[in-house]
Amino acid sequence: MRHLLELDDVRALIRQRDMLLLAGDEEILRRLPAGRWIAGTIPYFMGDDGGVCDRRRIFVERPGPALEYLGVRRYGEHDVARVYLDMPKDAVGIMIAPAESRVHLSFALNAPSYDRFACAPLFGWIAGVHLDELGRARPRVFDGTTGEVLDEHGVVMHAALKPGYVAELAILNIFEPGEGPAITFPETSFAVTTAKVDGKLVNFADHVRETILDTRLPLVADYYGASVNVSFQTVDPDKREVRFFAPVFAGVPYRHARPVGDYVRAFVSALPRGLEDSVALSCNCVLNYVHSSLEGRSTGGIVGPITFGEIAYQLLNQTMVYLTVSRSR
C-alpha cells in the first residue's frame, strides 16, 4: 500500500472505520473527521521511495488485520504512570506524546519504574515540528476519536491481538560504544553540568568542548542487555550545561558512540531478513535523518514517521523501533 496519502484519501479511510496511526503537518491533521485514529505532528518520513519532508500529505500506518481496535486513552504527566496498568490482556499499545511536554518528560524519566513495566508491547513516538520552526511551533498530538488537539497530553491506542498471533517489539540501534572513557552522571536528568569521566569529576560541557566530542553521535549505555542511546541536544558554553533529547540515568556508565561510516548500509545490513511482511508499525529518529542524509534514500523497505524520539517500552533516541505481528508458532 501507499503510505503518504492525500487528505481526501485519509478521510475515506477514516469514514470506513479503519484503525489508523497518522503523522503530518498540524494544519492538515486538523481537517480530518473523528474516527479510529491517533496522530502526531511531524513532516519527515521514511516513505515508499525513501526519506522525504512533506507538509502537504499525511503519512498513514494501518496496523493490519491481526490487530483489532479497542479504544484510545489519553494521559497527562500525573497519570501516565498507569500506561501499563491500563493495557488490556493480549493487546499492544501505540503511544504518541508531544516533544518537550510535561507528559513526555515524565514518561522519559520514570517509565522503567512504572507498575507492570514492559508487561505488554508499547510502541510509539514523540511528535515534533519542522526543524526550521524549532522554538516557534509546538508539537501536538490528536485524539482522533474526538478530533481534539493536545499539547500537554499523550494518547495511547489499544489494539487486541487476534487468536493465533504474537506481537514483538524490537529496536535497531546501529551505534556501539566507542573505546573512550566511561561517563557517569550524579543525577537522572535531561540536562547536566557535572559528570565523572573515568572516575574524575568534570564539568561535562567543558569536557565536550575540550575533547572536541562529535555531538552528532550519541552516548550509549547497556540498559538490561540492550544498547540504548542518549542523544545530544545542545552544549551551552555560557551555562556550562549539556542538554539531551532523553534523560541520562544516575550511576549508569555511558560511552560515546563509535563513528558510523555509511548509515544506510549499516542499517540495511543490521535488519533481520524477511521482516517486510510482518512489520506492522515502525518509526525512526530525526537525528538519523539529518546526520545521515536520509532524504531520498531507502532503509530496506521499512517505512514510518521520522520522529523526535522513539518508544519501545521506554523513550529511546537515534534508534529505529518496529513492531512485528506474526502467526504464533
For residues 182-211, average pLDDT: 95
Same domain, 306 and 277: yes
Counting the structural domains of the chain, the total is 2
For residues 94-119, average pLDDT: 95
Cα 270 to Cα 272: distance, rounded to the nearest angstrom: 6
Cα 218 to Cα 177: distance, rounded to the nearest angstrom: 9
Cα 249 to Cα 178: distance, rounded to the nearest angstrom: 19
Q: Given this model, what pLDDT does residue 270 score?
A: 77
Q: Given this model, what pLDDT does residue 295 score?
A: 78
Cα 193 to Cα 240: distance, rounded to the nearest angstrom: 6
Same domain, 212 and 194: yes
Same domain, 146 and 203: no
In-domain check, residue 80: yes
Query: Rounded to the nearest 5°, which phi and psi values hold at 36?
Result: -90, 70
Is 176 in contact with 257 (CB distance < 8 Å)? yes
Q: Given this model, what pLDDT does residue 1 score?
A: 56
Buried b / exposed e across 216-248, counting CB within 10 Å, b at 16+? ebbbbbeeeeebbbbbbbebeeeeebbebbbbb
- Whether the predicted pLDDT of 90 surpasses 60: yes
Check residues 292 and 250 and name the one with the higher pLDDT.
250
In-domain check, residue 232: yes
Mean pLDDT of the chain: 92
- The boundaries of the domain holding residue 25 are 4-171+264-327
In-domain check, residue 165: yes
Query: Where residue 296 falls among pLDDT bands split at 50, 70, 90?
Result: confident
- End of a domain among 205, 222, 256? 256
Same domain, 97 and 242: no
Same domain, 21 and 93: yes
Q: Given this model, what pLDDT does residue 72 score?
A: 98
Share of residues in the chain with pLDDT > 90 (%): 74
Query: Where residue 276 falls among pLDDT bands split at 50, 70, 90?
Result: low
Query: Where residue 294 falls among pLDDT bands split at 50, 70, 90?
Result: confident
Which helix H or strand E contains 251, and what residues bound it? none
How would you write 174-240 as a 3-class SS string? CCCECCCCCEECCCCEEEECEEEECCEEEEHHHHHHHCCCCCCCCEEEEECCEEEEECEEEEECCCC
- End of a domain among 256, 284, 318? 256
Same domain, 223 and 298: no
Cell of 295: 532524504
Q: Given this model, what pLDDT does residue 157 score?
A: 98
